[in-house]
Structure 1
Amino acid sequence: MSIRSEAIDILVGGETIAGTLLTPGSRVPGILFVHGWGGSQQRDLARAKNITGLGCVCMTFDLRGHEKTESQRQSVTREQNLDDLLAAYDLLARHPAVDPAAITVIGSSYGGYLAAILTRLRPVRWLALRVPALYWDNEWNVPKFALDRAGLQQYRREHLGPADNRALAACAEFEGDVLLVESEQDDYVPHTTLMSYRSAFVNAHSMTHRIVDGADHALSTDANQKAYSAILTQWVSEMVIRERLDNYPHHSPRYS
């Protein structure tokens, strides 16, 4: 299968953020990658190309405060980055090759947190979260850079539920299939946070929880990167491709 790669600009708040659209050339599921804080779309491109080869349209993009808009790093808020994600989602859903009722969102760390919130605002059929972070609901419009890091680390060690956090509340309403990937040696997003997410998905159609043995938060080694890529590709193949062919026309998610 040939893959077409197209550099795109995503309009949001009177500005543009950069993205890359990878297309197989037929009406198929769409997959949106959301990088973490301090990351970029470059970290997702290799996986996106691989998954595009399975028969999906994949999109990666740079949140404001990163890459070309790095000058905004100290001022960008969670509200603005959520707007970035919504703009990217809407652009992907409008693409003529994409079935807008068959969209997967794959988020890492901060991107996983934003992806969880997105499921309450847009239809998402499949959701993959790698080491998703948690942030308290207050200070929503305070620059993300200015949030108290020590306080957040303590917050993430607490056992939290849907009534305590906006992202977890969205997870509780999600009815699609979920992949949750944990790093065994993560000193940034602790096991407690992963369990808060896992426990919140009370209405999920299915839940797959995988741990990358010996991995840190950033998947610093090639072996860890390959392990995560294998987990993700296998899950996408099983959930998106197989279910798309066999069952998808008879199943659609509820969202609010």
Structure 2
Amino acid sequence: MAATSHPINLEVDNETLAGTLLAPQQRMPGVLFVHGWGGSQARDMQRGRHIAGLGCVCLTFDMRGHEKTLQYRQSVTREQNLQDILAAYDRLIQHPATDPERIAVIGTSYGGYLAAILTALRPVRWLAMRVPALYWDEQWDTPKQQLERARLMEYRNSRVAPETNRALSACAAFSGDVLIVESEHDEHVPHATIMSYRAAFQRSHSMTHRIIDGADHSLSSERCQQAYTDILTSWVSEMVIGDRIGHLN
């Protein structure tokens, strides 16, 4: 199915964020991509084109502190980036081709963490997280760049209970389908963090956990990038096709 792409602007707190909306020709599931800290919508756009071809409306965008708003990198907070994601979500469901009851959110690292929190604020049916990062709840309005990295790694290497963390609490309440993709040699998100996320999903409809062998956090090799693309596309395809069969029945 052919997809059309349209550049869009997202207005958040008097700032303009750049995004790209990719959509098929009929009402379909919506897919929101959320990049990681220091990333951009560039990689997401490549994968979005594949997934739009499956029959989905895909929206990618650049959070504040990235690309055209890089001047805010030192001052942007988690709250502000969460507001960016909420604005993108609301824009996605406004598109006439989007079915608001069938929304998938795909987040990477920092974006995966914020995507988990999003599920407590907006309806999400499918949640995919690649190397989801984890942060303590305190200092929520402190610039993200100022959070102490050594303390973050100590926190991530511990087992964190859902009731003590906003993102994990949202995961505990999530009843949709989940994909978690882990990197074997992740230097930022250790295995303990992945297991904290896995343990939190007590109500999910399904849980898929994949590990990319030999991969680092950023998937620096093309082999690892392709492996993730294959995993993600296969999972989204399974969810969308299964959903269509369910509608037919």
TM-score w.r.t. structure 2 length?
0.98
Deviation of the 1:243 alpha carbon: 2.2
Q: Which residue of 2 aligns with 1:14?
A: 14
Deviation of the 1:247 alpha carbon: 2.1
SS in 1 for 2:163: coil
- Structure 2 residue 244 is the aligned partner of structure 1 residue 245: yes
Deviation of the 1:248 alpha carbon: 5.2
Deviation of the 1:6 alpha carbon: 0.4
Q: Using the alignment, how far apart are the partners of 2:39 and 2:141 within structure 1? A: 21
The CA RMSD measured in Å over matched residues stands at 1.0
Q: Which residue of 2 aligns with 1:137?
A: 137
Q: Which residue of 2 aligns with 1:30?
A: 30
Aligned residue type for 2:212: V
What is the correspondence of 1:78-157 to structure 2 with a 5 Å cutoff? 78-157=78-157
Q: Using the alignment, how far apart are the partners of 2:43 and 2:233 within structure 1? A: 15
What is the correspondence of 1:34-53 to structure 2 with a 5 Å cutoff? 34-53=34-53
| Alpha carbons of structure 1 residues 180 and 248: separation in structure 2 relative to 1, 3 Å | farther
Partner deviation per Cα, 1:132-172 (whole Å, 9 max, x = no partner): 00000000000001000110010000101111110000000
| Alpha carbons of structure 1 residues 8 and 175: separation in structure 2 relative to 1, 3 Å | same
Q: Which residue of 2 aligns with 1:253?
A: none
Deviation of the 1:16 alpha carbon: 1.0
Q: Using the alignment, how far apart are the partners of 1:247 and 1:208 within structure 2? A: 20
Q: Using the alignment, how far apart are the partners of 1:99 and 1:65 within structure 2? A: 30
SS in 1 for 2:224: helix
Q: Which residue of 2 aligns with 1:67?
A: 67
SS in 2 for 1:58: strand
Q: Using the alignment, how far apart are the partners of 2:247 and 2:158 within structure 1? A: 37
Q: Using the alignment, how far apart are the partners of 1:8 and 1:125 within structure 2? A: 24
- Structure 2 residue 163 is the aligned partner of structure 1 residue 163: yes
Q: Which residue of 1 aligns with 2:183?
A: 183
Q: Using the alignment, how far apart are the partners of 1:235 and 1:154 within structure 2? A: 32
Q: Using the alignment, how far apart are the partners of 1:247 and 1:106 within structure 2? A: 22
Q: Using the alignment, how far apart are the partners of 1:137 and 1:195 within structure 2? A: 18
What is the correspondence of 1:197-212 to structure 2 with a 5 Å cutoff? 197-212=197-212
Q: Using the alignment, how far apart are the partners of 2:99 and 2:176 within structure 1? A: 16
Q: Using the alignment, how far apart are the partners of 1:112 and 1:7 within structure 2? A: 23
| Alpha carbons of structure 1 residues 215 and 75: separation in structure 2 relative to 1, 3 Å | same
SS in 1 for 2:9: strand
| Alpha carbons of structure 1 residues 249 and 33: separation in structure 2 relative to 1, 3 Å | farther
| Alpha carbons of structure 1 residues 249 and 104: separation in structure 2 relative to 1, 3 Å | farther
Q: Using the alignment, how far apart are the partners of 2:176 and 2:13 within structure 1? A: 30
Structure 2 residue ranges without an equivalent (≥5): none
Q: Using the alignment, how far apart are the partners of 2:189 and 2:33 within structure 1? A: 19
Deviation of the 1:127 alpha carbon: 0.2
Q: Which moved more, 1:59-68 or 1:8-17?
A: 8-17
SS in 2 for 1:163: helix
Aligned residue type for 2:73: R
Q: Which residue of 2 aligns with 1:235?
A: 235
SS in 1 for 2:76: coil
SS in 1 for 2:188: coil
Structure 1 residue ranges without an equivalent (≥5): 251-256
Deviation of the 1:46 alpha carbon: 0.7
% identical aligned pairs: 64
SS in 2 for 1:203: coil
Q: Using the alignment, how far apart are the partners of 1:66 and 1:172 within structure 2? A: 30
- Structure 2 residue 224 is the aligned partner of structure 1 residue 224: yes
